[in-house]
Amino acid sequence: MKEKIEDLRSIAIKELKEINNLTDLDNFRVKYLGKKGELTKILRGMGSLSQEERPLVGKIVNELRGELEDNIKNIKSNLENKKKNEKLKNEKIDITLPGEKINLGHRHPLMQTIEELENVFLNMGFSVVEGPEVETVENNFDALNSPENHPSRDMTDTFYITDDILLRTHTSPVQIRTMKENKPPLKIISAGRTFRFDDVDDTHSPMFHQLEGLVIDKNITMANLKHTIDMFIKELFGEGMKTRFRPHYFPFTEPSAEVDVSCLNCMGKGCKSCNDTGWDMELLGCGMVHPEVLRNCGINPDEYSGFAFGLGVDRIAMVKYNIDNIRLLFENDMRFLNQF
């Protein structure tokens, strides 16, 4: 009997050594330790043993049971660890993989234009100020000396919020705010959105952008205005650019002028886009600040004088980037915007 158990043991241990997965291990456990297993069989057959032999065989069987159970336990935990490590290895995050690309945006071409304009004027000693897009009728029209019956005041031209409040039709009211809140000398520019009751076409939009400039000091003359505009145009478009001042009317300046610049397409030689004139028309409006406007803001016109100018930023961006349709600036089509 003892030899039989010893043989069983060596077979079992040999089998154990070859087990390399949990299913086989469980089959092994059932085969030897299960209800109908080899060891149980031996225990059941003990009835045929002698009185002396029984406890001895029982002891050996129990020892073998303990040995096999310990082995199974160890192999089980080894296999489980192996399985866990393999799983971890497969799930390991490869931190050397390149990350997901983040879609970075960039400045809108209009904002790029405004920044460029601001930089030119900052270099000329101007300060940048801001004004609200929702304005009073007083600042937008009255204080700017705009006549009571001026067509631009009409409901069909201007977005009114109440009788006294509107969406500013130009950036000129920033002049009024600046002069009312500060004492001369003043040298400011201000860029931002402006609104008019316009139908949309290739060059018009009910929302557009302007940049306003204002200089107030003693002894400021038209010569200062012309020089400033000249410098600005050359700085922005290049040395070869010429300016042409045409007399015009604005209620808030006297005298007033509109400024044309050399056609950017042909640099003044004459081409199809400038109708062979060599000039790009109406890039900006300007003039000497009207004495009445100074008075409206508490500045004595006998002591101070100044000039002002206003230019269309969208127009400049379109000329600069060769854009032929203003709608493109406001549609937020990434295919268009990513070109700049």
Q: Which is nearer to ligand DAH, 172 or 205 (CB)?
A: 172
Residue 194-233 contact track with ligand DAH, rule CB under 6 A, x = bound: ------------------x---------------------
C-alpha–C-alpha distance, residues 280 and 261, integer Å: 5
Beta strand pairing status for 186-195 and 207-217?
antiparallel
For residue 288, the minimal CB distance to ligand DAH (Å) is 8
Q: Which is nearer to ligand DAH, 237 or 252 (CB)?
A: 252
Question: In the range 233-262, which residues lie near ligand DAH by CB under 6 A?
Answer: 250, 253
What are the Cα distances from residue 316, in Å, to 16, 59, 174, 255, 278? 87, 104, 21, 24, 17
Question: In the range 259-288, which residues lie near ligand DAH by CB under 6 A?
Answer: 285-287
Under the binding rule (CB under 6 A), the answer on residue 172 touching ligand DAH is yes
C-alpha–C-alpha distance, residues 150 and 154, integer Å: 8
Under the binding rule (CB under 6 A), the answer on residue 296 touching ligand DAH is no
Residue indicated by tokens 């690309």:
101
Q: Binding segment for ligand DAH among 102-110, 215-223, 304-312, 314-322 (CB under 6 A)?
A: 304-312
Q: Which is nearer to ligand DAH, 109 or 285 (CB)?
A: 285
Query: Closest-CB residue for ligand DAH?
Result: 310
Bin 325: left if φ > 0, else alpha if -120 < ψ < 50, else beta.
beta
For residue 246, the minimal CB distance to ligand DAH (Å) is 12
Q: Which is nearer to ligand DAH, 248 or 327 (CB)?
A: 248
Which of 328, 339, 337 shows the shortest CA–CA distance to 108?
337
Number of residues near ligand DAH (by CB under 6 A)? 11
Is-cis flag, bond preceding 255, omega within 30?
Answer: yes
C-alpha–C-alpha distance, residues 305 and 215, integer Å: 8
C-alpha–C-alpha distance, residues 136 and 166, integer Å: 6
Residue 131-170 contact track with ligand DAH, rule CB under 6 A, x = bound: ---------------------------------------x
C-alpha–C-alpha distance, residues 332 and 273, integer Å: 27
Residues at the site binding ligand DAH, with contacts judged by CB under 6 A:
170, 172, 212, 250, 253, 285-287, 308-310
